[in-house]
Amino acid sequence: MFKQASLWSRLAIIIGSAFFACGVLLAQDKDFSKVEIKVTKVAGNIYMLEGEGGNIAASVGEDGIVIVDDQFAPLAEKIQAALKNLKITDKPVRFVINTHFHGDHAGGNEPFAKGGSTVIAQDNVRKRLETAGSSGNGSSMKFDYKAAPKVALPVITFDHDVTVHLNGEDIRALHFPAGHTDGDAIIFFPKNNVVHMGDDFVRYGFPFIDVTSGGSVQGMIAAMEQVSTQLPPDVKVIPGHGALSNLDDVRAFTKMLKETSAVVQKAIDEHKTMEQMKQEKILAPWAKWSGEFLDADKFIETLYNSLTGSKGEFMKHN
Ligand SMILES: [Zn+2]
C-alpha cells in the first residue's frame, strides 16, 4: 500500500464497503485489477504474499491452507489463485486469522468466509467490526469506518490466545493488548521459525497507532520487547507492511519507539503543549523514520495522546 503516489491523500478517503483501513481507500474507488500478488517463500511451507494492504502469511500443506490476514475483498480471487499456483495443495483456505480489524488486513473476510473459510480473531476484532466507528491517532488522523456485514465477522474469537493445528504445525495467535489497536494478535509458526507481527511492527517509518481504537505506544513497545526476547535470533519476521525482516529490524524499531516516547514524555513532564513540541521539532533526531504516512508531527500527536491517555475529542465511542 505504500508503493504509489500519495498515501496520505488516499488515507483521507474512507472505506465505504465495510472497513476502515489504516492505509486506505474506498475499495470501489481503487482499481484492484492492476494489483499483482507477489509470493515469497519464507521458510518450509510458509509463504508471504504481498499485494495491496497488509502482508499475508500462508501455511500451505497437505491439510490445506491457513492465511494470516486477507487484504481487500476485491483481491480474494487473486490471493486464492496465487496460493493454488504453488501447486502444493488443491485444498482450500480453511482458516483466516486476522491480526487486527483494519480493512487493509481484514477486508477480504467476506469473500473468504463466503468461500468456506473460517475466520478467527481476537474478541475485540469482532467487536470493532460489528459496529461503525472511527480510527485515528487522537488528533489530525481520523478515519471513519462502517459496520462489517455479518458474514465478514470472525466466527471463532479468543481472549488471550488460540492455536490452529494444521500442516504439522501448532500455529499460535497470541493477543498483545493495546498496541496498534486493542485487538492485535501476533501469529507464531514455531516449527518453521516464522512470525507475523501484524501492525505492531511495520517498515514504513513512524507507525500508525490507532489510539482511538485502544492502541498505545506503550503496548506496542511491550509487545515488541516480549517478542524479541522470546523468539530465536534467526526467526523470520513478516511485518504488517513492508519487506521480510529479522529481529535486528524489530530491535531498531523498538529502540526508536522507546527513545521518541521518552523525549515526548519529558516534554509532557515539562508541561509543553503538543504545538510547542512540533515547533521545537523534538523528534528531529529520528527524521529518517518520517514517512509518507506519518511525519514527525503526526507521530508527536500519536505519542502525546498515547502517553497522556487522550483518545481524541472527536471520538464517537469507547
Ligand atoms: Zn492496521
Q: Which residues of 238-263 are buried (b: 16+ CB within 10 A; e: fewer)?
A: bbbbbebbebebbeebbebbeebbeb
Measured from the Cβ of residue 266, the count of other Cβ atoms closer than 10 Å reads 11
**CA 278 to ligand 1 centroid distance, Å:** 25
Which residues hold their Cβ within 5 A of ligand 1, which is an ion? 22, 102, 199
State the residue for C-alpha cell 481472549. 159
**CA 170 to ligand 1 centroid distance, Å:** 25
**Average model confidence (pLDDT) across the chain:** 90
**CA 88 to ligand 1 centroid distance, Å:** 30
**CA 106 to ligand 1 centroid distance, Å:** 9
Per-residue confidence (pLDDT) for residue 312, from 0 to 100: 58
Per-residue confidence (pLDDT) for residue 44, from 0 to 100: 98
Contacts of 150 (CB under 8 A, 6+ apart): none
Q: What is the pLDDT of residues 258-300, one digit of tens each?
A: 999 999 999 999 999 999 999 999 999 999 999 989 999 999 9
3-class SS shares of the chain: helix, strand, coil, % to 5: 35, 20, 45
Report the amino acid identity of residue 172.
R
State the residue for C-alpha cell 511492527. 201
Per-residue confidence (pLDDT) for residue 27, from 0 to 100: 53
Measured from the Cβ of residue 222, the count of other Cβ atoms closer than 10 Å reads 17
Beta-sheet strand order (sheet of 194-196): 161-166, 169-175, 185-189, 194-196, 236-238
User: Is the per-residue pLDDT at 13 higher than 60?
Assistant: no
Name the residue among 58, 54, 55, 60 with its Cα closest to residue 90: 60
- Residue ranges of domains in the chain, CATH in brackets: 7-247 (3.60.15.10)
Plot region of 243 (φ>0 → left; ψ -120 to 50 → alpha; else → beta):
beta
User: Is the per-residue pLDDT at 77 higher than 70?
Assistant: yes
